[in-house]
């Protein structure tokens, strides 16, 4: 009985939160939903750039929020390339992901760019940085231009175009709703909005 009441309260709270936000104001509803990677999950995608100060500012809160997501929600990061200086950082992401060291690399990469004044734009710099986390330098050099990395870069570009985004950080809920800190109003509002949209998608299934 208590669990039923708790579930009812959570849904009711999500409904109230959703009512405080407006489509076209706080988030954009895509006219053509984008297919998600796993239809059995509610997908949350973050499109970002490691060199973006707004992405850097959001990341600690996003990490904490991500850690609390239920099992039916899948969180996906996609580094996008909207400028020449963005490309190497995106390649480093895909190499780290494909080598299984992304969890160790993710926050230090933000720190290197925003607190250690590193640029990490050259191949040698990228190799040296990833080697600190146990990656074989020869493998990193190969993977920076390898098939898996190129496939990841194309995937992120295609997704960004399908979502219609032109800036980061951008959040996409289940291939249907696009929002961000500025659109939602604040970081706190963003997480409240995303929780409400996740619950909306859950209820629609």
pLDDT per residue over 123-167, tens digit each?
999 999 999 999 999 999 999 999 999 999 999 999 999 999 999
Domains in the chain: boundaries: 24-184
Consecutive H or E run containing 77: strand 73-79
pLDDT surpassing 80 at residue 3: no
Tokens 């509610």 correspond to 42
pLDDT at 20: 87
Q: What integer is the mean pLDDT of 156-181? A: 97
Instruction: Provide the pLDDT for residue 7.
Output: 43
Instruction: Tell me the pLDDT band of 205, cut-offs 50, 70 and 90.
Output: confident
Per-residue pLDDT, averaged over 61-85, amounts to 97
CATH of domain 24-184: 3.40.30.10
* Residues 106/171/168/139 CA torsion (nearest 10 deg): 30
**205 versus 86: which is more confidently predicted?**
86
The whole-number pLDDT of residue 2 equals: 42
* DSSP 8-state assignment for residue 35: P
pLDDT tens digits, 20-65: 899 999 999 999 999 999 999 999 999 999 999 999 999 999 999 9
- Whether 181 shows a pLDDT value over 50: the answer reads yes
Q: What's the chain's average pLDDT? A: 92
How many angstroms separate the CA atoms of 31 and 91, rounded?
Answer: 31
pLDDT classification of 12: cutoffs 50, 70, 90:
very low
CA distance 48 to 86: 10
Residue-level pLDDT at 38:
95
Beta bridge pairs of residue 28: 178
């Amino acid at each position: 009985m208590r669990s039923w009441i708790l579930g009812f309260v959570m849904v009711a709270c999500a409904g109230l939160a959703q009512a405080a936000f407006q489509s076209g104001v706080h988030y954009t509803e895509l006219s053509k939903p984008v297919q998600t990677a796993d239809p059995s999950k509610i997908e949350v995608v973050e499109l970002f750039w490691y060199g973006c100060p707004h992405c850097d500012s959001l990341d600690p809160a996003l990490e904490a929020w991500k850690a609390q997501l239920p099992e039916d929600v899948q969180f996906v990061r996609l580094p996008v390339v909207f400028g020449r200086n963005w490309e190497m950082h995106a390649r480093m992401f895909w190499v780290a992901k494909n080598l299984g060291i992304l969890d160790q690399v993710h926050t230090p990469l933000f720190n290197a760019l925003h607190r250690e004044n590193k640029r990490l734009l050259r191949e040698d710099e990228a190799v040296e940085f990833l080697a600190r986390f146990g990656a074989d330098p020869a493998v990193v050099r190969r993977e920076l231009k390898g098939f898996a990395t190129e496939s990841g870069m194309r995937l992120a570009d295609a997704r960004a175009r399908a979502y219609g985004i032109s800036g980061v950080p951008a959040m996409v809920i289940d291939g249907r709703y696009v929002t961000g800190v500025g659109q939602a109003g604040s970081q706190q509002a963003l997480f409240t909005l995303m929780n409400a949209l996740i619950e909306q998608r859950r209820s629609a299934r």
